[in-house]
Amino acid sequence: MASTATTIQSPSPMPSHRYRDVYSRVSVPLRDDERSWPTRRLTQAPLWVPVDLRDGNQALAEPMDPTRKRRFFELMVSMGYKEIEVGYPSASQTDYDFVRLIADTDIAPDDVTIVVFTPARRDLIERTVAAVRGISNPVVIHMYTATAPLWRELVLGRDRDDLKELILAGGRDVLELAGEMDNVRFEFSPEVFNQTEPDYVLELCDSMTQLWDASSDRPVILNLPATVEIATPNVYADQIEYMSRNLARRDHVILSVHPHNDRGTGVACAELAVLAGAERVEGCIFGNGERTGNVDIATLALNLHAQGVDPEVDFSDIDRIRSTVEYCTRMEAHPRHPYVGDLVHTAFSGTHQDAIRKGFIDHRARAARDGQPEGQADWHIPYLPIDPADIGRTYDAVIRVNSQSGKGGIAYLLSEDYGIELPRRLQIDLAGHVQRHTDGTGTEVTADQLWEIFTTEYLSPTDGRVTLLGYQTGDDTASPDGATTTVQLRVDGEESTHTVTGRGPVEALVTALAEVGIAVEVIGLSQTSVAAGSDSDALTLLEFRRGGTDVAAPAQWVAGRNSSVLAASMDAVVSAANRVV
């Protein structure tokens, strides 16, 4: 009889013994017959609350300036968010001023609730209330304090009773300073909820809903953060269901969650928490936040979409959303980030390509048989959980997979020989031009030939019907934004001068072109250089499309080259304008 060998795995050299079992510390007294979340299904979207302007902004190496904060806020409004946390007004003058901007302008539609964040400290609460005074929108004042034992003892130096009194004192200050403001509601977060004793956090939350007199007319938001993920998502779901079942005044509480992503399971924690009774989810659009980030609202929302549930926020132009988020945060989305990454609809494997091709053939045949437009027919295509068109993507990256396989080599040669780094979408576009060249010649393409193809396709001369005669930048003390740009143009021989305030030079040039009837929509702009070293030229790579049409025109690419980064960018915009006209 043949023996069966058993492989015994060797112990890891990792010092795992240094870490304690977390389950015994955070588990809740929830009986099996009380646990209902495992059998529930997600059937509607929770209330989404993006915290990119506060929590996400704090996590940036370079926090957003007022222009970026406003652009991000306007993006979220355009996407349909009805509650937005806009800042931490007691933490910085920039945040305070941004809240005052909302009070003093009409950038927030009447149906958007404004959320502001404050610690449980009277002077900071006073500053927060001063910031929201005069805002006509619904307002939520969000007060927080860390409650977990390690934070309580090491950071705050308080026992349970002392900390409860600190929290209640803060709650009384909020009530005293803002209780008479009819448009204001209150939110309490026991920070590090997921590591706090269940009986203690329940006692704190019930005390706050009693103090703030939670009612149907003025419900209190109780936000239960997984500030640092330490356990599997089922544990967090149990904690949320325990709170939901045992809270006093439950009918007058909006139960909210704020998962972080330290274990990489923030999305799962949020989804299970909603199954367990949470009605509101705080997170960042693409998961930005301290350490590994906050929960990713885009992924949560599009996961619902993929299951036939309306996410109630609009991701139908995800590349526009991404370009704005990247501009505001100065961070690029990973190419394999769920839904938004450049490669999420791309197959390099031959077996994947074959299955997708057959899926498209079957999809079109079913749509034709049922007399439906392809975009309305049920979606069943291997390896593609949603139709890329749902989020504004074309099928180029899916059906042109053979050309995709060559773009990496093209980008490598140009980087090695010319020092230029191309955005992935430009790599794809350039690969199509290179493929047409190789189809025609049947020969190998050298780095010099690649550069020749690149310059022919993208670095076309900027002298055409549109010419930039000059531009000047400066400060305008009369403008709230303090910046002004004067642009001089010649279009079809007719010269004009345009002064634009509150925008950078590139945006000012786009505005000036629009004033003479040339609509250029800039989708993305990136800089690289030609050759290496301090003497290299700047190269601006501009993705754009023709603006002002009912149906979005296809995206195109141009480039500008100059010793000055700004001049290269301006040249690229003029080149785009000449293509538009």
Please give the average per-residue pLDDT across 130-138, as a whole number: 97
Q: What is the DSSP string of 55-117?
A: IIHHT-SSPPPHHHHHHHHHHHHHHT-SEEEEE-TTT-HHHHHHHHHHHHSS-S-TTPEEEEE
pLDDT at residue number 362: 87
Residue given tokens 């990136």 in the structure block: 526
Least confident of 296-300, 379-383, 534-538: 534-538
Task: Tell me the mean pLDDT in the region 377-396.
Answer: 88
pLDDT tier for residue 303 given thresholds of 50, 70 and 90:
very high
Query: Is residue 396 scored above 60 in pLDDT?
Result: no
Topology (CATH) of 466-580: Double Stranded RNA Binding Domain (3.30.160)
pLDDT confidence tier of residue 401, bands split at 50, 70 and 90: very low
Over residues 397-421, the mean pLDDT reads 61
Residue 355 confidence (pLDDT): 77
Q: In this model, does residue 440 exceed pLDDT 90?
A: no
> Does the pLDDT at position 552 exceed 80?
no
* pLDDT for the residue numbered 330: 92
Domain segments of the chain: what residues?
25-329, 350-458, 466-580
Average pLDDT over residues 333-343: 94
Q: Which residue has the higher pLDDT, 403 or 574?
A: 574
Lowest mean pLDDT among 101-115, 359-373, 479-493: 479-493
Average pLDDT over residues 391-414: 59
Higher-pLDDT residue of 399, 358? 358
Q: Is the pLDDT of residue 374 over 60?
A: yes
Does pLDDT of 405 surpass 50? no
What's the whole-number mean pLDDT along residues 27-33?
83
Rounded CA-CA distance 532/537 in Å is 9
Residue predicted with more confidence, 6 or 493: 493
Work out the average pLDDT over 227-243. 95
pLDDT confidence of residue 478: 56
CB contact at 8 A, 171 and 208? yes
In terms of pLDDT, which residue wins out, 375 or 399? Answer: 375
> CATH assignment of 25-329?
3.20.20.70
Q: Which helix (H) or strand (E) holds 526?
A: strand 520-530
Q: How is 353-411 classified by DSSP, letter by letter?
A: HHHHHHHHHHHHHHHHHHT--GGGS---BTTBSS-GGGGT--SHHHHTHHHHHHHHHHH
Q: Is the backbone of residue 249 left (phi > 0), alpha (psi -120 to 50) or beta? A: left
What is d(CA 562, CA 345) in angstroms, rounded to the nearest whole number? 35
Asked whether residue 428 carries a pLDDT value surpassing 50, the answer given is yes
Q: What is the CATH number of domain 350-458?
A: 1.10.287.1400
Mean pLDDT rounded to a whole number for the chain? 89
**Distance of alpha carbon 527 from alpha carbon 541, whole angstroms:** 6
> pLDDT tens-digit profile of 493-518?
899 999 998 888 999 999 999 999 99
Distance from C-alpha of 273 to C-alpha of 279, rounded to nearest angstrom: 9
- Return the biggest CA–CA distance within the chain: 96
Mean pLDDT along residues 47-70: 94
Lowest-confidence pick of 107-111, 120-124, 417-421: 417-421
pLDDT at 407: 60
> What burial class does residue 93 get, using C-beta atoms within 10 Å of its C-beta: 0-12 exposed, 13-18 middle, 19+ buried?
exposed
Is residue 274 a contact partner of residue 44, using CB atoms and an 8 Å limit?
A: no
pLDDT exceeds 90 at position 219: yes
Pairing of strands 184-191, 139-146: parallel
Residue 532 has pLDDT above 60, yes or no: no
Task: Work out the percent of the chain whose per-residue pLDDT is above 90.
Answer: 69
Distances (CA, A) of 514 to 138, 506, 546: 36, 13, 11
- CA distances in angstroms from 317 to 75, 340, 388, 389, 541, listed in the order given: 11, 10, 10, 9, 21
CA distance 150 to 26: 13
146-160, 175-189, 534-548: which has the minimum mean pLDDT?
Answer: 534-548
Say how many residues make up the chain. 581
Spatial neighbors of 158 by CB under 8 A, at least 6 apart, are 152, 166
**E strand or H helix that includes residue 573:** helix 565-580
- DSSP string across 132-171: HTT--S-EEEEEEEE-SHHIIIIIS---HHHHHHHHHHHH
* Banded pLDDT at 324 (limits 50, 70, 90): very high
107 φ/ψ angles, rounded to the nearest 5 degrees: -70, -20
Spatial contact of 131 and 122, defined as CB atoms under 8 Å apart: no
Count of CA atoms in the C-beta half-sphere (13 A) of 215: 5
Residue 541, Cβ density class (10 Å: 0-12 exposed, 13-18 middle, ≥19 buried): buried
